[in-house]
Amino acid sequence: MRSKVSADVRNYYYTQDFGSPTVPNTYAYSLGGMLKVQTAPLYGVSAAIAFYTANDLGVNDHNGAPAYPHLDPLLMGTGHSLNVLGQAYLQYENHWATLRVGNQLLDTPWMWPADAFMIPNTFQAVYGALRPVAGVEIEGLRSFRYKNRTAPDYSRNNLLNLPPESLLYRQLPAEDNGALAFGVKLSAKPYGIPDLSGEAWFYRFYNLANFFWGTAHYGIPLGPVTPFVDAQFGRQWGDGANYAGPINATVYGIQGGVSTRYGMLFAAYNEIPSRHPFAVGGQRDLYNGGFISPYTQPYNADPLYTSIMNYGLVSASAPGHAWKVGFIFTPTPQWRVKYSYSWYHTAPYVQNLSANYLSVGYALTGMLQGLTLRDRLAIDHGFHNINNVPLGTLVDNRVMLQYTF
């Protein structure tokens, strides 16, 4: 086998228009990409590095420092450029096992790249996987440091340490001890049941929470259509110093629908039951009933069925329930259209919200294969900030042009 070189170039434009006359609209533009080199394996051992860059080309509005009222920092931070060595690891891999040590991407339900903007989440970690029999994979990891999507380097923190989440979690220290996780993935496909799978995980977010998470999927092929049902369950309880409060939370989810070669129709429900006491106010402590996610929360990158690109029950930081209905339409392999309408019922802790979400993607073929265009639009009614202050209707639009080679 030979060494591998992979890369992508992204051109991204992001706008947030608020219905409140007192809240300035924000936007952000960036041009950048990724270059990765992975050596050919020698007796199963290889090494890899990946460099990421994002640049605003002088387009973004940096007036009004340090608040930058018209600049959205989620895309690439508040600087004019962001250049990082995101991955640098050693790996051993064979048919039965994988062991990876260093700065890397992780792919687990609650610790993953969340690669929706310019640069993904990466973790300084030890990761291992065993594949003892067909359809079974056992994984484990221990992360020590973390680099979020807009950070210039690795540090001993998580997303709850940083604004805006730090407005809620005021007891968190400047540094944390990372996370430990174990999981098992099961698939019945090798045994003649093509659409039955599940996984279960245990996470320990040190001094924050312990977390059990499980999901299951079952589909019944009936000629051209496949009815399916999905279920998910999570249970969190405190760990160590309990810096986020005495966590004691549960989350349920169910999703069902019908899939075909042209897409799917679906309906989903999630609930985080309320537990008392739960303190509310301009700066509220998150006590029993609240649910935390140290590596996805402000990014809305969690795996709950009802989460969309800019909102969900986890980012609401409050108990409640949510519904979502929608469809995915793929008339040709090049086109992908997704629409959903969702309701989030979290009153009296934070105000209720409803949202329309539309994503349209097109992948070119032939000489331009590797070039994709995607536009994602969310219109949120009842939007509010981290302190539950109403911001009117939010129109959130994200356009990305990417070439992968």
Residue owning tokens 């986020």 = 244
Residue-wise pLDDT for 336-395, tens only, equals 999 999 999 998 888 999 999 999 999 998 888 999 999 999 999 999 887 788 888 999
Checking if the pLDDT of 287 tops 90, the result is no
Average pLDDT, the chain: 93
Question: Does 67 have pLDDT greater than 90?
Answer: no
How many whole angstroms separate alpha carbon 279 and alpha carbon 286? 7
Tens of pLDDT, residue by residue over 235-265, are 999 899 988 888 889 999 999 999 999 999 9
Q: pTM of the entire structure?
A: 0.94
Taking alpha carbons only, the member of 136, 140, 240, 147 closest to residue 188 is 136
Instruction: Report the alpha-carbon distance of residue 80 to residue 88 in Å, rounded.
Output: 25
* Averaged pLDDT, 112-135: 97
| DSSP symbols for 259-288 | EETTEEEEEEEEEE---S----STT----T
More confident residue, 277 or 186: 186
Long-range contacts, stretch 90-93, CB < 8 angstroms, 24+ apart: 90/45, 90/46, 90/47, 91/45, 91/46, 91/47, 91/48, 92/44, 92/45, 93/41, 93/44, 93/46
Contact 46, 91 (CB under 8 A): yes
pLDDT at 284 over 80: no
Tell me which residue of 391, 401, 400 sits closest to 17, measured CA to CA: 391
Q: What is the pLDDT of residues 170-199, one digit of tens each?
A: 788 888 899 999 999 999 999 989 899 999
End-to-end CA distance of the chain: 19
CA distance 272 to 324: 15
Other CB atoms within a 10 A radius of the CB of residue 191 amount to 10
Q: What is the pLDDT of residues 296-331, one digit of tens each?
A: 998 999 999 999 999 999 988 888 999 999 999 999
DSSP-derived letter for residue 167 is G
How crowded is residue 173: how many other Cβ atoms within 10 Å of its Cβ?
A: 12
For residue 279, pLDDT beyond 60:
no
Exposed e or buried b for every residue in 17-35, given b needs 16+ CB within 10 A?
Answer: bbeeeebbebbbbbbbbbe
Q: Which residue, chain included where needed, has tokens 């931070």?
A: 77
